[in-house]
Amino acid sequence: MKKVCLFTLIVFAAVCTFAQQTSFAIESERHERFWLYINDKQQNPNPVESLCVTNLYPNWDYTLRIVMDNKRHSEITTVINLHHGNNNYSVSSNPRSGQISLASVSRPINASFIVGSQPPQNGHQNQHGNHPPQGQYPPQGHKPQGQYPPQGQYPPQGQFPPQGQYPPQGQFPPQQPPQGGHHNHQYPPQQPNQPPQVIVVEQPAPEPVVMSCSDADFEDAKRTIEKADFEQTKLTIAKQIVASELMTARQLAEIARLFDFENTKLEFLKYAYPYCYDQNKYYIVNDVFTFSSSVDELNEFINK
């Protein structure tokens, strides 16, 4: 009776622990779209700017893989340990090198896509937790009886040779004390097959090849900006384009000439500087300004 009560308490504690779940939210700092993988399982079928994954467990280590929807940017793989409460992260990418970084943030994230994660099938819990991975506890109320050693590891009942005929004299191996479990008068006990140890060596991601916007893509971008009717609309479209296409200083100067007002040109060229392919030639854009004060303000912004 005591053993049954103890087993019931263990199962109850495991169920209560699993009931304490948490979530993981992530968003792109520059509104770039991405795919998220948790323990090699793809979470979103289409690239999104923000994502929330529920049904996760605190005090567990999860392997994250983030793949950006941009060929110029590399991908990132890392391991994080979730805790109770909010687990909010921001992913950002360097417009010049394409390298990705992941950082924890305290602000709330209003995710555009929410998905419920499957129970963990791999990965592991760290030392602060106390519940095992799914499948290691027997189902509640089903205490295994008569299944030791595991079924299928001994010859089927009735197939042992008659008593006195097995084994031939002198062919028994030296008697060894039983390793774990209890003696069931079936000798020799067969050891379960151990799966081969797999060692995974993570290779570093190759350095991305950074290239500037092609002439054909640049002409398409210019036509898209020119179709806009209002100055502010042109500026918004131009910012979206340069955030996804690495352009040269000469190409950025041509886009700036599409604007009618001096302050709009200045605002655009300030925004576009981090995305310039050849920043050492950014002096080329000075020719688009009418007033020298605009040139001075742009140079002061760059030198900060």
Q: How many whole angstroms separate alpha carbon 3 and alpha carbon 24?
A: 39
Contacts of 12 (CB under 8 A, 6+ apart): none
Contact 256, 288 (CB under 8 A): yes
Q: What is the CATH number of domain 2-125?
A: 2.60.40
The dihedral sign for the CA sequence 94, 97, 98, 102: negative
Contact 268, 236 (CB under 8 A): no
- Using pLDDT thresholds of 50, 70 and 90, give the confidence band for residue 255: very high
**Is the confidence at residue 217, as pLDDT, over 50?**
yes
Contact 206, 218 (CB under 8 A): no
Contact 208, 98 (CB under 8 A): yes
**Is the confidence at residue 29, as pLDDT, over 90?**
no
> Tens digits of per-residue pLDDT, 280-299?
999 999 999 999 999 999 99
From the centroid of its chain, how far is CA 34? 10
Indicate the length of the chain as a whole number: 304
Domain residue ranges of the chain, discontinuous segments joined by +: 2-125, 215-302
Q: How many whole angstroms separate alpha carbon 205 and alpha carbon 183?
A: 52
Helices (H), 20-168: none
Contacts of 143 (CB under 8 A, 6+ apart): 4, 7
> Tens digits of per-residue pLDDT, 88-147?
998 887 776 677 888 888 888 888 889 886 655 454 554 444 443 444 444 444 444 444
- Using pLDDT thresholds of 50, 70 and 90, give the confidence band for residue 148: very low
Helices (H), the chain: 2-19, 215-226, 231-244, 249-256, 262-272, 292-302
Q: How many whole angstroms separate alpha carbon 283 and alpha carbon 298?
A: 10
Torsions phi, psi for 9 (to 5 deg): -65, -40
Helices (H), 193-261: 215-226, 231-244, 249-256
Q: How many whole angstroms separate alpha carbon 161 and alpha carbon 65?
A: 56
From the centroid of its chain, how far is CA 215? 34
Q: What DSSP state is assigned to residue 281?
A: G
